[in-house]
Amino acid sequence: MAVETVASAVSASTDFGPAVALSCRECGERFPLGPIFACEACFGPLEVAYEFPSGDPEGLRRRIEAGPTSIWRYAPLLPVPADVAGKPNLNPGFTKLVKADRLARELGVTGGLYVKDDSGNPTHSFKDRVVAIAVEAARNFGLTTLSCSSTGNLAGAVGAAAVRAGFRSCVFIPHDLEAGKVVMAAVYGGELVGIEGTYDDVNRFCSELIGDPIGEGWGFTNVNLRPYYGEGSKTLAYEICEQLGWRLPDNIVIPIASGSQLTKIDKGLQELVKLGLVEDKPYRIYGAQAEGCSPVSTAFKAGHDVVRPQKPNTIAKSLAIGNPADGPYVLDIARRTGGAVEDVNDEQIVDAIKLLARTEGIFAETAGGVTIGVLRKLIETGQLDPADETVAINTGDGLKTLDAVAPTTGPTAIIRPTLDSFREAGLA
Amino acid sequence: MAVETVASAVSASTDFGPAVALSCRECGERFPLGPIFACEACFGPLEVAYEFPSGDPEGLRRRIEAGPTSIWRYAPLLPVPADVAGKPNLNPGFTKLVKADRLARELGVTGGLYVKDDSGNPTHSFKDRVVAIAVEAARNFGLTTLSCSSTGNLAGAVGAAAVRAGFRSCVFIPHDLEAGKVVMAAVYGGELVGIEGTYDDVNRFCSELIGDPIGEGWGFTNVNLRPYYGEGSKTLAYEICEQLGWRLPDNIVIPIASGSQLTKIDKGLQELVKLGLVEDKPYRIYGAQAEGCSPVSTAFKAGHDVVRPQKPNTIAKSLAIGNPADGPYVLDIARRTGGAVEDVNDEQIVDAIKLLARTEGIFAETAGGVTIGVLRKLIETGQLDPADETVAINTGDGLKTLDAVAPTTGPTAIIRPTLDSFREAGLA
């Protein structure tokens, strides 16, 4: 297969920092680092395995704290070379951890509530984190074209990252995407190809392209670079703990699309404990889905280990993956840590977007509404203890999903430009 | 007058850090710090006067570098209390200074080119900087309602900042604003009042409100809090110089709306020199306008000292102030430093937005297109030396002005989901 040839050809001369291999999450089989994503033995998903330096947590902590204000401060824990910050890239991450006291009061949280606000990333979603790691892998493998299938956010993140890093990009989207999302995907000037078909058709086409000679030299962030790409989400765990003063929170509420972000945040927390960067203590991981695409929460509530695919129908389009690849791992983690997976409907999503905006001045995209809505529901149903310290993740910016709140968000009053008119409106 | 009574009542017990008075830019008359904006003697605009600590630039530099990664690292140089970072606010600033090597190559800049990217602020425009200072002034004066007249960006910045800082907000916009901008202004849940009239009508109404008893306790960021508000723009100068390694660039290109940002950046640079934080050397300040609203560049080119008002007609709506308050000061600064003021038309604005996106992965709003377009024109016309080191400021995010690029930004191709169709499109 074309991509595997590339992999074995380049893996000897590359620099992935502390990463030493890819290992199968199912059978544990190991493979050299390369642009591959599935186990040859069992077809299980591959993930990056590391050999971390050990024995000097204080030194490592100081090294991180002296690093750049981006994900690259954690280069010693990522599959990237030590000098990664010097290479041209978007420098995402190290976004704000907002102490959300007003939201806490509204929700009755007494143990401390934080919002990790990833709308502060360069293209305003957490995708900049994962794409940045995929780009470094593509550089290592000598790939020349960055690609992905996308319904919007990822296309923009890949387009922007490719430009800065000096790659050609060619991104695939369903042809009937909303105009605004097309602009965000197209404005960076790479090739943007509309596919006559659904998002599933786009994905199938991309898989075909990877197996074809045309696809040689191509890095699909969410396919053949997926093992690297996914590691970017670990940085959310690192940042949350560092920003709390190098300690674990009690609870983290995380939105679920493929489930990869949630599983990698858990991986990141475990690494911090193993490296002695934070003290070990119990923590709970909660997953958040939209009711209109809730395969994982449905399985969680039914006590199932497998996730039955659903046909998505929700305003939270960035979470609308009906057959989430990491669903079973999410179930494991929620159960192991004593967390839960919950869902909210579209009306609750919109309400939660507005709640976060009017309490904390953070305008979240629909995925953020899912997280905050689920947080509220978890508290109301007694699944999350309000006396605990909780972190909720906002993965993207409200400017990307204006349509979700537009119908119910408008002026308080329309008046003539006179004081009398102002008084009559009851606003004085 | 109601607001002045408030001012004299509170000015004794307030903490404005190093700020000691308001002084008239025209006649030099001094007034106690208060929510006033015009000189009682000559009606000139007031600005903040400071008594800075002197004699230990190295100590001040270290104190700044050890500070928070927001504008509050410069608290010793702003009209705010020393403990400002501990008060609830949006913590704007310390945005990325992007080394723009690819853009430099396209433009023929050989001396080094940087884009100061203020789209990274909490509500994605530089307005978060100025509003944050106005909010602290409002806190100091015991005001309870934050307000402004706005065509969009400022409304959102005020709405979000008010929420976080615990103020009521009541913001005024023309009633016929685009739906997207209304959402951004309304989502934070404060009062949003649509005024049946133009932006000028909105401004006149706000002035009336300030003079009326209804307006007691109200802080209009861009009216009675304007002297404080404007100081926020100084932080752009501080950040640029610190991020360059505590030195002045040769040139800075700055968009002009009221002209306040440009004059305050110059003020900030002068302060850094006086305090010994950077070495003195010549620098040039360039102003950027849209041709459809170019009162300052028209006056500059004609060699006039006064600015004749224009009726704006440009896609760069956030710069569309036909009668810019600081226009004459801008002319002074451009001439004194050996810079210039230039303008570009709507087509050149759109081209420049796309140029910045495809070279640096930065998606700017129309104001950013004006700045980059003018930079290109300044080089082409020999007004800016490409062998100099230049910084261009992007003041806002492209997601806010999608309509500007939408008509000319789309997919490269629409294909069927087959390799043959991909090959036929000439993309393989």
Is residue B16 scored above 70 in pLDDT? Answer: yes
Q: Which residue of B has its CA nearest to A397?
A: B123
Nearest-neighbour CA in chain A from B368: distance (Å):
14
Q: Which residues of chain A does B195 touch, with a Cβ-Cβ cutoff of 8 Å?
A: 414-417
Q: At what angle do helices A234-243 and A57-65 cross, to 10 degrees?
A: 90
> Is B354:B405 a contact under the CB 8 Å cutoff?
yes
Mean pLDDT for the stretch of residues B163-184: 91
Q: Which residues of chain B does A409 touch, with a Cβ-Cβ cutoff of 8 Å?
A: 182-183, 186-187
Question: Do A363 and B398 make contact, defined as CB atoms within 8 angstroms?
Answer: no
Q: Which residues of chain B does A96 touch, with a Cβ-Cβ cutoff of 8 Å?
A: 91, 122
Say what the pLDDT of residue B234 is. Answer: 98
Say what the pLDDT of residue A180 is. Answer: 82
Say what the pLDDT of residue A13 is. Answer: 61
Say what the pLDDT of residue A342 is. Answer: 98
Nearest-neighbour CA in chain A from B187: distance (Å):
6
Average the pLDDT over each of A49-58, A173-182, B47-56, B184-193 and give the range with the smallest value.
Answer: A173-182
Question: Do A417 and B193 make contact, defined as CB atoms within 8 angstroms?
Answer: no
Q: Which residues of chain B does A400 touch, with a Cβ-Cβ cutoff of 8 Å?
A: 399
For residue A221, the 8-state DSSP code is T
Q: Per-residue pLDDT for chain A (428 aa), expressed as one digit of tens each?
A: 333 333 343 444 689 999 999 999 999 999 999 999 999 999 999 999 999 987 899 999 999 999 999 999 999 999 999 999 999 999 999 999 999 999 999 999 999 999 999 999 999 999 999 999 999 999 999 999 999 999 888 999 999 999 999 999 999 999 988 888 899 999 999 999 999 988 888 989 999 999 999 999 999 998 999 999 999 999 999 999 999 999 999 999 999 999 999 999 999 999 999 999 999 999 999 999 999 999 999 999 999 999 999 999 999 999 999 999 999 999 999 999 999 999 999 999 999 999 999 999 999 999 999 999 999 999 999 999 999 999 999 999 999 999 999 999 999 999 999 999 999 998 87
**Domain B2-14+131-229 CATH assignment equals 3.40.50.1100:** yes
Identify the band that residue B13 occupies on the pLDDT scale cut at 50, 70 and 90. low
| pLDDT tens digit sequence for A284-340 | 999 999 999 999 999 999 999 999 999 999 999 999 999 999 999 999 999 999 999
Say what the pLDDT of residue A54 is. Answer: 79
| Pairwise CA distance, residues A297 & A260, whole Å | 15
- Give the whole-number percent of chain B exceeding pLDDT 70: 97
**Domain A2-54+127-229 CATH assignment equals 3.40.50.1100:** yes
**Quick check: do B2-14+131-229 and B97-124+233-408 share a fold?**
yes
Q: Which residues of chain B does A212 touch, with a Cβ-Cβ cutoff of 8 Å?
A: 419
Say what the pLDDT of residue A212 is. Answer: 94
Nearest-neighbour CA in chain A from B45: distance (Å):
25
Chain A interface disruption, residue of B135, B150, B183, most A CBs within 10 A = B183
Say what the pLDDT of residue A296 is. Answer: 98
Mean pLDDT for the stretch of residues B235-252: 98
Nearest-neighbour CA in chain A from B101: distance (Å):
9
Fold classified for A97-124+233-408: Rossmann fold (3.40.50)
The domain segmentation of chain B, as residue ranges, is 2-14+131-229, 97-124+233-408
- Among the partner-chain residues A90, A208, A400, the one whose CB lies closest to the CB of B361 is A90
- Among the partner-chain residues A161, A194, A412, the one whose CB lies closest to the CB of B191 is A412
Say what the pLDDT of residue A11 is. Answer: 43
Say what the pLDDT of residue B6 is. Answer: 37
Q: Which residue of A has its CA nearest to B414?
A: A194
